[in-house]
Amino acid sequence: MNRILTDEQLVIELSEGNKFAFGEIYDRYWYKLFCIAYHQIGTKEEAEELVHDLFESLWNRREQSNIRHLSSYLVISMKNLITNFIKSQITWRKYKEYIILQKMQENALTENTAEFTDLSQALDNALKKLPEKTSKIFQLSRFENQSVKEIAKELNLSEKAVEYHITKSLKVLKDHLWIYHTQN
């Protein structure tokens, strides 16, 4: 075949399995498709791989393809491959970021759990050092979120007495738990 074939003729020859026609399409469009891919992707190797994938797909689907305008078909196919490639890269990057974040959270959770356990035990020990009534008032105030008025009513005490016990418990706890405050 020494004559120059049109794109339409090449498509017909390609659909019949003509390797020369495929080679001619490759020679005509490889550089154009490579430039499109390289401009969008930015790396030579990945751009070459996308062009290779496009031509491999063209050959494998040569009998089923209904190509009317070869140049437009190839450019649109390349843009679709580029879009899919970029999406896969974004998805892969997001997945890697997710895994890294998960590991960081697991490490922080383990560390925070240990710190919380230590602090919780220290708080329990400090509460045991308080008089029973003071400890009870503190727990109602801080753990059950009851107001001074509610605690006074429940325990049959004046509001001033409840405030006194809360202040006293906070002072004792501050003295016993100061080490946890300075670590953070």
Each residue's pLDDT tens digit in the chain (184 positions)?
457 889 899 999 999 999 999 999 999 999 999 999 999 888 999 999 999 999 999 999 988 878 889 999 999 999 999 998 988 888 877 777 777 777 777 777 677 777 777 777 888 888 888 899 998 998 898 888 889 999 999 999 999 999 999 999 888 888 877 776 655 4
Cα–Cα distance list, 182 to 52, 111, 171, 178 (Å) = 61, 17, 16, 7
* pLDDT for the residue numbered 44: 94
* pLDDT for the residue numbered 182: 57
* pLDDT for the residue numbered 184: 47
CATH numbers and ranges of domains, the chain: 7-91 (1.10.1740.10), 129-184 (1.10.10)
Positive or negative torsion for Cα 95, 96, 101, 107: positive
Burial of 177 (0-12, 13-18, 19+ CB in 10 A): middle
* pLDDT for the residue numbered 181: 64
What whole-number distance in Å separates Cα of residue 16 and Cα of residue 28? 19
* pLDDT for the residue numbered 100: 79
Q: What is the pTM of this model?
A: 0.52
* C-alpha neighbours within 13 Å on the C-beta side of residue 12: 5
What whole-number distance in Å separates Cα of residue 108 and Cα of residue 135? 32
